[in-house]
Chain A
Amino acid sequence: MSQLFLGVALLLVLLLVGGLARVLQGPTPHDRLLAAQLFGTTAIAILLLLAESSGAAGVLDVALVLSLLAMVSVVAFISCSRGRGAPE
């Protein structure tokens, strides 16, 4: 079973690399933001799979911290694009 989890995690890492293309291509900053957010969610999924397959302590805490703080960069981005001094 742990091998299956690891295999799925490997697949998710490969999907991450594919997703980088959307971050780089855009074309709008919002596309890049959403792709980066998807990366955060994928990383949480990978961490959960790793936690199940290895049973190591603390891996779930990393996933918890990532999911708790995922919103910060979204708010930072919208405050950039809609707040004062924004280019648009």
Chain B
Amino acid sequence: MTLEMLFDMALVGAVVVAAAYAINAPVLIAGVFVYIVFGVLLSLVWVRLGAPDLAIAEAAIGAGITGAIVLDAARQMGMERRRNPRLRRWPGWLSWAATAAVGVIFAGVFLTVSEGRGDLPQRVQAELPRVGVENEVTAVLLSYRGYDTWFEVGVLLVAALGVLALRAPGESPARRFRWDPPAVADGAADMLVPGGILMAGYLLWQGSRGPGGAFQAGAVLAAIAVLLTLLGRPPIARVSDRARDALLVVGFADFLLVGLVAVTLGGALFEYPPAWAAPMILVIESAVAVSVAVTLSLLFAAGGAAGDASEGGVP
């Protein structure tokens, strides 16, 4: 047995243990922290599977956004709370059976895909020069299946609209966390904000030749926004409603616009001419990164019970 196999087995074991305890932890806050650890372990798994793009996305989302969301939810439910007794109404065998069924389906999908993928990786590689980017993942997302990605950006837009629809007209969706953050947190945030923006820009630019891209860049930006929201300075409250809506829509609209430009240049929708493909993809990715960042930070900033007088609304 090689050391690689040993390492992978230990990692998978750690993921399974963390997953089991995240669900079964006796105290709510313990489950929350194990869940955060689970996200970190998952990004290690993506690295071992040779998918650094996903590892970066998982690291940014897990450490920066879902961690804050679940901690905030735990605060609203009472951190020291014991396990929810209502969950025990579900018979244990039912959840095990459901998990086993999903496992069988995944195993089936994995076996079919690993058998039937044929020469697909070679074909992706062969077409790369015409796509204008060197990163296969970006090529697949933005070019080979531009339609799907465009609609995925649309799904994010719908989620943001859903959040905004729950607020009264004119009511700010950004909660104010009213507390006195320790000076060290404020000071560290002031240093992290430029670092985060630099990192997002790097990931965006890097996405055409290596791991990175619009979603990763947007997630890092959103995590920085979550940090500022926690410190009582939500960036989303600094722009007007109209500007915020424009930022939410720009990814979806810009994606379509570039796709239509490709049509006027004689291709199909999202069939970028090879000479222009690289800049066109960068234009799409930049706009999508902005929309992803604003959407994700809105999801956190607007979270919590609607009409919560202690935090909601404009100060």
Footprint of B on A, CB under 8 Å?
3, 6-7, 9-10, 13-14, 16-17, 20, 23-24, 26, 29, 32-33, 35-36, 39-40, 43, 46-47, 50, 56-59, 61-62, 64-66, 68-87
Contact = CB atoms under 8 A, between A and B. Distances in A.
A65 B47 contact: no
Nearest to A83: B179
Say whether chain A's binding surface is mostly helix, strand, loop, or mixed: helix
A42 to B, nearest CB: 9
Given A29-B79, A33-B33, A56-B47, A65 B181 contact: no
Interface of B: 3-4, 6-7, 10-11, 13-14, 17-18, 21, 25-27, 29-30, 33-34, 36-37, 40-41, 43-44, 47-48, 50, 52-53, 55-56, 59-60, 63-64, 67-68, 71-72, 74-76, 78-80, 177-179, 181-182, 185, 188-189, 192, 195-196, 199, 203, 206, 210-212, 216, 220, 223, 226-227, 230-231, 310-311
A20 B226 CA distance: 26
Contacts of B192: 68, 71
Contacts of A69: 59-60, 63-64, 196, 220, 223
Contact of A58 (B40, B52, B179): B52
B44 A46 contact: yes
Nearest to B176: A84
Among B13, B79, B203, B311, max chain A CB count under 10 A is at: B79
B59 A66 contact: yes
A85 B227 CA distance: 19
Contact of A75 (B10, B29, B181): B181
Nearest to A25: B30
A84 B14 contact: no
Contacts of A58: 52-53, 55-56, 210-212
B33 A76 contact: no
Contacts of A29: 29, 79-80
A8 to B, nearest CB: 10
B186 to A, nearest CB: 10
B174 to A, nearest CB: 15
B263 to A, nearest CB: 34
Given A57-B210, A71-B188, A73-B63, 13 more contacts: A7-B3, A13-B10, A16-B14, A16-B41, A17-B13, A47-B47, A58-B56, A74-B185, A78-B181, A80-B71, A80-B72, A81-B79, A83-B177
